[in-house]
Structure 1
Amino acid sequence: MSSRPNPVPNISIAEQPGILKQPKAVWAVFFACIIAFMGLGLVDPILPAIAGQLNASPSEVTLLFTSYNAVMAVAMLVTGAITSRIGMKKTLLSGIVIIALFSALGGFSNGIWELVALRGGWGLGNALFVATALTAIVTLSNSGNAKAIILYEAAIGLGISVGPLIGGWLGAISWRGPFLGVATLMVIAFIGLTTLMPKANTVQATQKKSSLLDPFRALKHRSLLVFGIAAALYNFGFFTLLAFAPFVLGLDEHGLGFVFLGWGILLAITSVFMAPKLQQWFGTVKSMCMMLTLFALVLLSMGIWTSTQWVVIAAVVFAGALLGNNNTLITTAVMNASPVERPTASAAYSFLRFLGGAIAPYLAGKLSEIYNSSVPFYVGAAFVFLSVLFIWGNKKHIHHVDAAEGGHE
């Protein structure tokens, strides 16, 4: 379905240097990305505290990830249509306002179901912001598309790593602290984008108005569909680790914050420095399969030694390196996968990716309640192994991604 040549110029993550020489507008979006992605890991250190103080079960608390990812998945389908009509700047600012509003309301909530609903609203704001931020950085960057993607992934890594640290610090004071902290930081990001980004009419995301059906049409391209389904499968493992590991680590808010800080730092470093090397040496598809296989083995080890604290801590931190590499590799692959505009490809891929992220947290919590704390990690590992088999089984549909980057087959 995707054998036609790709009219969108291919990109490699080992292109020209100059990643730090960016306009102020790029750094404004970069900073806002860090804050937006803090929301992903920010609640990690306070999950046990929320469960205790709101009398909620692990499966109920993991719904904070499920509602967030479910709303974000669906909202991804409309981000292109919105951006093409009001422009990138207004879309980014709208996303920031929604994130600030719902995170602040979350800080004042008094029940788990109210908090779950508000996290869904947070997911809507994040969808508007995140989907548009990648396009904005690529559009405004002067160092090439490949370096722009690395910069975007670095912002994700920094946000995910700093989020748990701030969450642990504020969460030790009160579980409400992290929510109110994000709201405050988003106000700062709003001011930065308002003053540093060019006027809306100079940074329009697309040349023509996008249709709500465009992401679904994009999934007719087998290559994009393959990467989307693979991402949904491996996100079962990703969000099992992110949402459920805090319940088995046996650490307080500060301890959980430091563990996930280490996880996020490795994620950020590898996404910027190691992923380009892996792509050069082995090609994108082989590198992805290697990282995902290792990640599945890490989850398997967490299932076997769930009661051994140091093993689980080491596994969580090491998983950051694997996920950092894979995130950059698969993002670059998606941008090269099909002959559709990149904002549309990103929306279609993100829809499938976050569906996996929506199901996994609640499933992990339920499996632990029905069976035991090891089963969620076994199931997560099985899904990640399945993603490897799915990628390898559909290699003929995605081989052009490597061919475009130097002939790796």
Structure 2
Amino acid sequence: MELKRVVVTGLGAITPIGKTIDEYWDNLQKGVSGAAPITRFDATHFKTKFACEVKDYNPTDYFDRKEARKMDMFAQFAMIAAEQAFRDAQIDPQAIDQDMAGVIWGAGIGGIITFLDETRSFVKNNEVPRFNPFFIPKMISDIAAGHISMKYGLRGPNYGTVSACASSTHAIASAFDLIRLGKAEMFITGGSEAAINEAGVGGFNAMQAISTRNDDPATASRPFDKDRDGFVMAEGSGALVLEEYEHAVKRGAKIYCELAGSGMTADAYHLTAPDPDGKGAERVMANALKDGNIRPDEVDYINVHGTSTPLGDIAEPRAIQKVFGDHAYKLSISSTKSMTGHLLGAAGAVEAIASILAMKNSIVPPTINLFELDPEIDPKLNLTVGKAQERKIKVAMSNTFGFGGHNACVVFKAVD
């Protein structure tokens, strides 16, 4: 069968470096770090005392108190980003076929803040079983998709994707497939995460996965740097409106770009470490290019996973060189996690948005905090070090790789 074309018509984001798309993009270009001492809880006794939080976040700026109490912060972030994207796409919910519009949303962890708060309350009350009736609906990862669909009356496919750091890229890829198969005309898709609490930070500390550079948080997220010591936890959300091309044209929608292809693979190697040769990453990029009928030499920019972890930052460049060959040296490559930190399940959506905005504005956002390149990484690769670079981008790729060996990749291209 002939697959339908899918385009991006709306964007929304709430991130550690901006609570709107414009703020986010402005600070990406400037190379602003979102890392700072933790304010969500007292981190005095933790190995890591900083993170990339959404700055000055107050739920009542967006929701009335009663509504806010029914949602974990990850779902609040989802609703905020989705509203921005819906508004950006200029969609009147009553003017579309709501049976053909859906929501697919990613979250790697979901309502961990709610889970910790309710467990604490249970223990504090001498194990008397008194739980908030919203405990389970606030905690479960799929609830963000439910909230969004109910707000806008979207009755099409509705579910959540959970694949650690690849969650929201899997959500985007799933929405993409359903539209091109003709099972929906429109999706709000993306992801959100809010895991900066004692359990989240303590858990990642126990794994030795996150940076402990407490003396200089702003430079702690340093992808590809010789002295990197782990990723920096972050929170927030990214949302995209995906739409069938003819449907978008018919309603006169603004079109950012086309979502051309996606890839999904597994490392089948280790709980938390990537395949050291980058085989899963290599295959997922190759699959995404094949899916989109795009040659490797047509790609201009890759927003890499680039978390600032010892193993991952070596495996991914190796995979890029295997997939792209000599063209790898002509690519623009950057890790925007150097600025935003790692948004976990929301990372894929937020970084897909960075890729789309890079195309729209012909500007490659930088990789900051790269002071001395790891000697195991080829110095001829253009990692967009230190400052943004101007470049006409016709094809952009976004990679995400999650604990458990989950790999997902999406490729965007300019609309003909």
- When normalised by structure 1's length, the TM-score is 0.32
Q: Structure with the greater relative contact order (CA < 8 A, sep ≥ 6): 1 or 2?
A: 1
- When normalised by structure 2's length, the TM-score is 0.32
